[in-house]
């Protein structure tokens, strides 16, 4: 049963087909020599197993520690290891490139996301069929549908406080994960329009999953620890909130510095037409930026998010292969004298994101003021 429709939008330019063809051909040569093809390799499975062990140990520790300091430490360890598991395993599974078996990957994806309180059904549709196809294209990329408290899109309503968004953004990001789990999931399920997607009908079983996931999450990470330990319910909730606040800041910057920075632009389709002037491969590269591409620790922790350009060109490939694919992309672009590839460090990305918020707000507030003045002049002209 079809549950959604996709807006017909096409990339018009064909001038970079040779670049894309060369990248693909060289990637195919690499995959031909890989035992694991496009799926997770042996090291990835070892990493996944270790992360699962750490998650289990952290939860066991939560139920058995007797000091508030150790409780906080255990919750932070649980949250960080679970988040790392989600970024590394859940994300690959969402793209069906963990095992390469669609049904198995779907089960793993739903499980990993569900245990973290998130319903994966709409997230997967929005991520795979909107953001990945049309990154940073207004009214098409669902990742541009952010909170009204942040002004990045010229189609958003401008408020006076946006002038200070670069100051309060980091604090705001501390609430991102809790808002997503307990509010945004329900809003998404109640919304028909998602960027280029129109939801026709959400299967009843997904509504059931949504409720069960929330109940299970609250029970597992708040109610059970409050019942089985000597800590009060208020202490558990406070530590739970602290865990989310700190990890949510880390998670938010991890997401935002790949697309929402000074080095990357936002784009529009042609007026009254579902056509985008650029080519697909060029747009995927210039609308995305890598961070710490050569850093092995970053590759381990971020599950390919730091090699985001390779992820956008090869979303069907496990992040275990992104280091080599990134080198292929870099060398191919260099041979064709194309300076599309960009990268910085994680902290340079954080600084760039905050600078971007400041500059974006200033530009859009100025534009809004000009439009407001023009509207007033028009009203005066007609004597209104």
Q: Compute CA distances 372 → 107, 149, 222, 366, 368, whole Å.
A: 51, 21, 49, 10, 6
pLDDT the model gives residue 374: 45
pLDDT confidence of 372, banded at 50, 70, 90? low
pLDDT the model gives residue 288: 96
Q: Is the pLDDT of residue 1 over 70?
A: no
Q: Which of 77-86, 93-102, 192-201, 224-233 has the lowest mean pLDDT?
A: 192-201
Structure confidence by residue, pLDDT tens digits, 324-366: 999 999 999 999 999 999 999 999 999 999 999 999 999 999 8
pLDDT the model gives residue 269: 81
CA neighbor of 279 nearest in space, from 10, 53, 14, 22: 14
pLDDT the model gives residue 289: 97
CA pair distance 305, 309, nearest whole angstrom: 9
Look at the chain and report how many structural domains it folds into: 1
Structure confidence by residue, pLDDT tens digits, 96-112: 999 999 999 999 999 99
Residues 135, 142: contact at Cβ < 8 Å? no
- Report the pLDDT averaged over residues 70-92: 97
Extract the tokens encoding 62: 């939560």
pLDDT the model gives residue 159: 93
pLDDT the model gives residue 380: 46
Mean pLDDT of the chain: 91
pLDDT the model gives residue 56: 97
Q: What are phi and psi of 193, to 5 degrees?
A: -95, 125
- Report the pLDDT averaged over residues 154-168: 92
**In three state form, how does the secondary structure of 187-253 look?**
HHHCCCEECCEEECCCCHHHHHHHHHHHHHHHHHHHHHHHHHCCCCHHHHHHHHHHHHHHHHHHHHH
pLDDT the model gives residue 383: 46
pLDDT confidence of 6, banded at 50, 70, 90? confident
pLDDT the model gives residue 156: 86
pLDDT the model gives residue 33: 84
Q: Is the pLDDT of residue 14 over 80?
A: no
Q: Compute CA distances 70 → 62, 226, 278, whole Å.
A: 8, 15, 53
Q: Is the pLDDT of residue 373 over 60?
A: no
Q: For the beta carbon of residue 3, count every other beta carbon within 10 angstroms.
A: 13
* Structural domain boundaries enclosing 97: 4-381
Statement: the pTM of the whole predicted model exceeds 0.85: yes
Residues 170, 203: contact at Cβ < 8 Å? no
- Report the pLDDT averaged over residues 316-327: 95
Residues 360, 156: contact at Cβ < 8 Å? no
Residues 26, 332: contact at Cβ < 8 Å? yes
pLDDT the model gives residue 272: 65
């Amino acid at each position: 049963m079809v549950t959604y429709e996709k807006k017909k939008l096409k990339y018009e330019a064909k001038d970079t087909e040779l670049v894309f063809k060369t990248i693909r051909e060289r990637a195919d040569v690499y995959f031909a020599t890989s035992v694991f093809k496009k799926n997770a390799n042996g090291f990835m499975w070892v990493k996944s197993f270790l992360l699962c062990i750490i998650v289990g140990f952290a939860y066991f520790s939560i139920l058995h520690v007797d000091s508030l300091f150790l409780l906080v430490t255990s919750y932070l360890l649980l949250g960080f290891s679970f988040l790392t598991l989600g970024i590394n395993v859940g994300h690959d599974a969402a793209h069906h490139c963990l095992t390469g078996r669609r049904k198995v990957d779907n089960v793993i994806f739903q499980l990993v996301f569900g245990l973290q309180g998130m319903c994966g059904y709409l997230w997967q549709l929005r991520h795979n069929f909107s953001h990945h196809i049309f990154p940073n294209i207004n009214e098409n990329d669902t990742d541009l549908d952010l909170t009204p408290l942040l002004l990045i899109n010229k189609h958003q309503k401008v408020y006076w406080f946006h002038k200070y968004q670069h100051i309060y953004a980091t604090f705001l990001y501390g609430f991102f994960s809790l808002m997503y789990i307990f509010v945004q999931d329900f809003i998404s399920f109640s919304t028909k329009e998602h960027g280029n997607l129109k939801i026709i009908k959400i299967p009843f079983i997904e509504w059931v999953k949504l409720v069960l996931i929330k109940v299970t999450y609250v029970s597992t990470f708040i109610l059970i620890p409050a019942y089985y330990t000597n800590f009060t319910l208020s202490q558990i909730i406070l530590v739970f909130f602290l865990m989310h606040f700190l990890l949510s800041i880390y998670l938010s910057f991890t997401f935002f510095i790949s697309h929402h920075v000074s080095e990357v632009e936002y784009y529009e389709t042609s007026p009254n037409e579902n056509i985008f002037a650029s080519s697909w491969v060029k747009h995927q590269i210039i609308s995305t930026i890598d961070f710490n591409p050569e850093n092995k620790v970053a590759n381990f922790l971020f599950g390919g998010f730091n090699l985001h350009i390779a992820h956008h060109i090869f979303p069907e490939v496990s992040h275990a292969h992104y280091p080599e694919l990134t080198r292929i992309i870099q060398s191919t672009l260099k041979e064709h004298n194309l300076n599309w590839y960009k990268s910085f460090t994680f902290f340079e990305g954080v600084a760039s994101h905050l600078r971007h918020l400041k500059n974006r707000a200033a530009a859009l507030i100025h534009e809004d003021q000009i439009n407001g003045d023009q509207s007033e002049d028009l009203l005066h002209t007609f004597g209104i």
